[in-house]
Amino acid sequence: MKNRSHISIPISFWACLVGWAILGISIGPRPGWAAPVKNSDCLSCHAMEGFQAPDGKNLFVDGRKFEKSVHSFLTCVDCHSDVKKTPHAAELAKVNCSTCHAEQQQKFTSSVHAGRIIHDPANPNDGKVEFSCADCHSPHEVLPRTDPESATHHTNVPALCGKCHSNLKFVIESPMAETSMPFFAYKESVHGKSVAAGSEKAAVCSDCHRSHDILPPTNPKSSIFKINTPETCKQCHENIYAEYADSVHGKAVKRGVFGAPVCVDCHGIHSIKSPIDPNSTVAAQVISRSTCGQCHAGEKLSNEFGVPENRVSSYFASYHGLESRVGSVETANCASCHGVHHILPSNDPRSSVNKANLAKTCGKCHPGASDNFAKGRIHLLKGEVDTLGARIITAVTQFYVWLIFLVVGGMLIHNAIDYFARARLRMREHLFPGRPVIQRIPLNARIQHGIMLTCFILLVITGFALKFPDAHWVQIVFLGNAAVRSVTHRIAAVLFIGLAFYHLYFILFTPRGRSELKAWRPNLQDIRDMAQMISFNLGLTKEHPQFDRFSYVEKAEYWALIWGTIVMILTGIALWAKTWVLQFIPKWGLDVFELIHYYEAWLATLSIIVWHLYMVLMRPGSFSSSWMWLTGSITKEEMIEEHPLEWARIRREAEAAEPASEGKEDVLQTT
């Protein structure tokens, strides 16, 4: 009985089907009735290469590709339901994919793509159209995701999304896509490179952002909302997620603490790189500074969550930190001790930095490390005295600081007393009346030199303080007061400019100045003197060059000073009056002035230290004449040795002025 009833159903079905067929044949088509539109009817036009709509839009359909698509079982009018006959109207209704794909359409409607207006690349007039399913799924060539030729195949997804997200025009006009960098950063990431190599497991755009229900990162339901990020990464990194979820960071995120780090805070978002890549944010040589340091170097964690502050600075002050700062990839960093993903508080018995586990943790790098190896603070801060070891270390530090201060300070005091005593005797040789000394530098020039020396030192200190504001000497000199630095620099600059104009007047309009300018004038003899001096110092010749009033050394200094003064004044005024200057030059021109001002300052400072101070202070035999800048005088012996031509000229002038030999000697040798 069961078999009969089972058979009777299909028999009745076929009986009805045959009856309808006979009825249809007998009746036949009637006048006014339209025959069903077949795919072949549509393809008779749309399969023609280059078939276009009146507005120029490409309407070509490849029949062979359609037969391979997932829609091949459908007819054209199943989607284009308003087509009742051919030829059809020029404007057709928009295809409603939700007829079959209601769930996907519902997700898409709430996504960031819904309602977005984009440029249609298929339209030669670059018309704007609303983003739709067809922009990702070519409707006539939709292949299953498992097909390597499908646009939505795993390895093709980055290129599919990149059609828009690598397009600068799209980025500029889309309110959600602020930059095209995510696409290019992804291509260079560990995920992007793996996918490009053919991996079907590495993450692509849709794995993180999802396919149809793509939501902005500000939406709490978004897969890339900060607190949801670990769950998103969990899809591929389940084991790592389990460690992270149990960590102090993971638990904080579950409690809703937005300040706690998630995966992208450490690894980056699109530009995720392998830990062995030196450009990675979690590379051994940068993780302490750029990754852990972005939270633990600030005061926010300490103020809001009671996390100990100064942990990063104390690490970098340690042996490990110092090694890291010089580029070592083998020295211990934050992750070496605290772990990577399974970071636990030190009071957790499972923590790698728990007191009971420290010897084992240190032993990873230091085999055989005992319990004593790990006794003591790793992040020892100045002034900490909560343990015996910290108290002893603090006491020893204070003892040696005071010992150095007293011992070295005593040495400085002793040497200062000795220096000034000897200097006083040396000055007496220059100043004592009747001594055989000659006045070389007038009081006017010595005053100019003194003002220039003072201004130069002030400008150097206050200028470099701006470039190196974190230097310890800057904090000591200016006590963190930027206004004092700024005002001092400008006062010194004004004095320096005033001195420059006075010197210009001095050398052009005073007899002594014109005489000095003539003596400063460079000539070919200076080049010959320099070559002879080098040969003499190398032992290639026994003849020392004979210098006149100014040697090639002094001339080089003077004209370098003139050049540097002009450059520093012009660029300094431009930087000071930048608002006015930028009315005439672009911003990059002012940047060039700033660079010139900065590097010219370095050139002047180093030239003074390396050249001028050596010549007047450190060169053997020159120390005795270092007081000439103050007294203006030089001994007869020094004159004969350093400026024999000038000495000879002075003798000739003196002999012509005073024929008597007794008086002559006095004129030559006294001030």
Q: What is the pLDDT of residues 287-328, one digit of tens each?
A: 888 888 888 887 777 777 777 777 888 888 787 887 887 777
CA dist 24 and 481 (Å) reads: 100
The total of other beta-carbon atoms located within 10 Å of residue 157's CB is 21
| Residue 227 per-residue DSSP state | G
pLDDT band at 647 (very low <50, low <70, confident <90, very high): confident
Looking at residue 153, its pLDDT comes to: 92
Gap between the terminal Cα atoms of the chain: 147
Query: Over 90: is that where the pLDDT of 341 sits?
Result: yes
Q: What is the rounded average pLDDT of the residues 52-71?
A: 81
Backbone angles phi, psi at 479, to 5 degrees: 55, 35
| Residue-wise burial string across 494-522, b where 16 or more C-beta atoms lie within 10 A, e elsewhere | ebbbebbeebeebbeeeeebeebeeeeee
CA dist 670 and 667 (Å) reads: 6
* Both tokens assigned to 22: 């006979």
Strand partners, 67: none
Q: What percent of the chain has pLDDT over 70?
A: 83
Q: What is the rounded average pLDDT of the residues 3-10?
A: 43
Average confidence score pLDDT of the chain: 82
The total of other beta-carbon atoms located within 10 Å of residue 362's CB is 21
User: What is the tens place of the pLDDT at every residue in 388-417?
Assistant: 777 777 787 788 888 888 888 888 888 778
The type of residue at 363 is: G
CB of 57 closer than 8 Å to CB of 123:
yes
Looking at residue 297, its pLDDT comes to: 81
Query: Over 50: is that where the pLDDT of 488 sits?
Result: yes
User: What is the tens place of the pLDDT at every residue in 434-465?
Assistant: 556 677 788 888 899 999 999 999 999 999 98
Looking at residue 228, its pLDDT comes to: 93
Looking at residue 26, its pLDDT comes to: 45
List of E strands, 58-217: 117-119, 128-130
| Residue 240 per-residue DSSP state | H
- Which has the closest alpha carbon to 443: 257, 631, 167? 631
Q: What is the rounded average pLDDT of the residues 235-257?
A: 93
CB of 528 closer than 8 Å to CB of 543:
no
Query: Over 80: is that where the pLDDT of 432 sits?
Result: no
* Cβ-based neighbours of 493, under 8 Å, separated by 6 or more: 455, 459, 572, 576
User: Going from the N-terminus, what domains does the chain have, and what CATH number goes with each?
Assistant: 106-218 (no CATH), 434-657 (1.20.950.20)
User: What is the tens place of the pLDDT at every residue in 131-185?
Assistant: 888 888 888 888 888 889 899 999 999 999 888 888 777 766 666 666 778 888 8
pTM value is: 0.63
Q: At which residue do the structure tokens 């939709």 appear?
A: 142
Strand, helix or coil at 207? helix
CB of 151 closer than 8 Å to CB of 160:
yes
* Both tokens assigned to 67: 């037969």
Query: Over 60: is that where the pLDDT of 573 sits?
Result: yes
User: What is the tens place of the pLDDT at every residue in 213-222?
Assistant: 999 888 999 9
* Both tokens assigned to 295: 């939270």
Strand partners, 58: 52
